[in-house]
Structure formats: C-alpha cells, structure tokens
C-alpha cells in the first residue's frame, strides 16, 4: 500500500535538486546539495531542529538548521568548496517560496512568484556571476508553478466523496483529536443502519476500512506539516485482528510508516488487547509506531498504570471501575488523560 508521505518527500527532494542544478549551474555540487537537503527535510518536514532560538517564524528555524549545517560543511570540506557551500545555502532563501514555507501572499512587497524569481535572477548575476538566458525566468516560473500544482493535485485526488473523517476534539487537551471514518454509501433499504454499522465495524471490513482511514488521515497530516503544524495529534481506530495476519498488518501500517506521520498518529487499542498482543505491539513500537491505550476492566490494579509509561497516551473512560482512583493519582501519570 502507498505511503503518501514518502511519495511526497521523494517528489519534493527530486524537484529541489533540479532547482539547485538549474540555479547554481557550475556551482552545483552533488555532495553539498545532498547534505543541505537532508538538513532541510529534517527541519521542514520532521521538525527536527536543535536550535534554542525562540521564534514564531518557521522559516527562521529551518534557516538556523541550514546555518548550522553550513558551519559543519565548512569545517570538514576543503577550502575550495567554500563558495559552493555558501551559495547553496543562500539558494534556500528562494526554496522557501518554491516549497511553500514562505507564501507570496503574506508579503506586501511581493506581488507574485515572478517577483521572487526576479530577485533570484539578480542574485545569480551579482553573486554567482552567471549570465541569465532571456527565457530563463519564463521557463523557471512555469516549472515552479507546474510543480506546485502537481503537489496540490496529488493530495486533492486522494480525497474521496464516499468517505470522510470525523474529528472529535478532546474536551480538555488542546491539539488532541479522536478520529474515525464515516461513509456515505447507499445500500438497499432492507439493511438496517444497525446491521450496516455492525458489518462496517467488525471483521474483514473493519480491517479493510483502515486502508481508507489511514490514507485520508495521511493527507490531513501532510497538510498539517505543510502549514508548520506539528502540534495536532490524532487518536485513530485500530483493529487487533490484524495482529494475526502479518502480511495484511504490514500492508495497512505501511501507509503511516514514516516518522512524520507516526509522530502525529496514535493507534488506539484497549488494555486487554495490549495484554493479549504485548510482544508484537512492543515490536511495532520499536519500529516507530505509537499506540494509545484505552483502559478497561481487565485492569486489576492502579499500580499497573505505572507500567504503561512507554505509551504517549493512556485513556481513562469514566465507566472504568478504577476511574476515581486513577484520576485521583493522575499527577503521578503524565500520560494519563480522561476520555
């Protein structure tokens, strides 16, 4: 099954390399470009940044990471690489616009993308001493706009009219949402809604609907990341019958097999299911997946909640027999939340 985040990143990296090759011309250095792109992707899409700077501007955090990379490259590469290292870093001021980190509509001094490319042409002339061909600006503009459109259409075409995601915001925790899949499929009237829901939420159908649910949620998460929203987290349905079907399990989970997706998505299972499938769940935790544990009455002792520290979220339903005792001691459990 397709992993949308990996596909999106492959396309983005391919295009950034192409832009770099076009812009830098003789200054293009494959090794240097790869190093910078790795840092850029980590900061842009995975929010990996070791800066202690407190700034609201996301692009400044990315630039800080690129500046750190520049220092590393200057320290380990030969002196004759210095100009290529500096020039490659400077090009990222324009990549920010081409990859929607900075948006033209947010600037009073910039009318459209053509103004950005005009500044790029000036930099190539003054800093790189590159004579720009007369059709460079027109061709480069068309390429950038085409790539932007292709990325937008890629995400748009994955949305389906028959299925929609429902988001229920947690009542006390900001940026936390429960997610489930809704459907609008017309079936014969002789099937009651209760019967339809029962089939839809059990057995093979429940397993297969995760393929749709995780794909649609991947689109939501990618859009979050494109808007520099790394705070929203999602608790999503999971069907533990998949643990008995290794190949199908891997097919389903491959959809979200990416660190950026895994960081925002929590697979919801019950405490009883954890006890039953603990070994394989721990295996998938080691592979980067996050599970949310919803406690049930198979929990016999409050002290056992202490053993769930490896899980980011432990959900306590109000009808749990140990509810009051757990919530009374909730300050001891940093990952415990009320349902």
Q: How far apart are CA 130 and CA 27, in angstroms?
A: 10
Report whether pLDDT(147) > 90: yes
Tens digit of each residue's pLDDT (9 = 90 or more) over 88-115: 999 999 999 999 999 888 787 778 899 9
Report whether pLDDT(198) > 50: no
SS3 readout for 67-91: HHHHHHHHHHCCHHHHHHHHHHHHH
Please name the residues in contact with 105: beta carbons below 8 A apart, sequence gap of 6 or more. Answer: none
pTM reported for the whole predicted model: 0.90
Report whether pLDDT(247) > 80: yes
Tens digit of each residue's pLDDT (9 = 90 or more) over 251-260: 999 999 999 9
Q: How far apart are CA 208 and CA 219, in angstroms?
A: 18
Q: How far apart are CA 217 and CA 223, in angstroms?
A: 10
- Phi then psi dihedrals of residue 290, to 5 deg: -110, 135
CB 270 within 8 A of CB 296: yes
Report whether pLDDT(195) > 50: no
Q: Is 133 left (phi over 0), alpha (psi -120 to 50) or beta?
A: beta
Report whether pLDDT(47) > 80: yes
For 115, 137, 299, the CA distances from 122, given in Å and listed in that order, are: 11, 11, 67
Which helix H or strand E contains 235, and what residues bound it? strand 233-236
Q: How far apart are CA 194 and CA 87, in angstroms?
A: 64
CB 236 within 8 A of CB 216: no
């Amino acid at each position: 099954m397709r992993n949308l985040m990996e596909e999106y990143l492959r396309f983005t990296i391919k295009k950034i390399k192409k832009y770099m090759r076009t812009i830098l011309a003789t200054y293009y250095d494959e090794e240097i470009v790869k190093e910078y792109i790795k840092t850029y992707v980590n900061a842009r899409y995975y929010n990996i940044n070791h800066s202690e700077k407190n700034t609201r501007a996301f692009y400044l955090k990315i630039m800080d990471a690129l500046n750190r990379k520049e220092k590393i490259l200057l320290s380990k590469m030969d002196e004759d690489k210095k100009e290529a290292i500096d020039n490659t870093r400077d090009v990222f001021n324009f990549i920010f616009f081409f990859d929607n980190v900075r948006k033209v509509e947010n600037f009073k001094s910039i009318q459209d993308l053509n103004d950005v490319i005009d500044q790029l042409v000036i930099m190539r002339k003054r800093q790189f001493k590159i004579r720009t061909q007369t059709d460079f600006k027109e061709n480069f503009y068309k390429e950038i706009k085409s790539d932007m459109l292709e990325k937008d259409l890629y995400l748009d075409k994955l949305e389906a009219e028959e299925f929609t995601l429902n988001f229920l915001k947690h009542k006390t925790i900001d940026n936390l949402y429960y997610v489930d899949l809704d459907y609008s499929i017309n079936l014969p009237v002789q099937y009651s809604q209760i019967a339809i829901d029962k089939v839809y939420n059990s057995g093979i159908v429940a397993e297969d609907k995760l393929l749709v649910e995780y794909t649609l949620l991947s689109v939501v998460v990618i859009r979050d990341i494109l808007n520099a929203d790394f705070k929203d987290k999602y608790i999503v349905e999971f069907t533990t019958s998949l643990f008995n079907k290794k190949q199908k399990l891997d097919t389903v989970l491959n959809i979200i097999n990416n660190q950026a997706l895994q960081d925002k998505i929590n697979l919801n299972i019950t405490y009883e299911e954890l006890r039953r499938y603990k070994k394989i769940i721990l295996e998938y935790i080691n592979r980067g997946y996050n599970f949310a544990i919803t406690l049930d009455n198979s929990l016999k002792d409050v002290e056992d909640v202490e053993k769930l520290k490896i899980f980011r979220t432990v959900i306590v339903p109000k009808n749990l027999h140990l509810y009051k005792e757990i919530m009374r001691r909730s300050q001891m459990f940093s990952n415990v939340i009320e349902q």
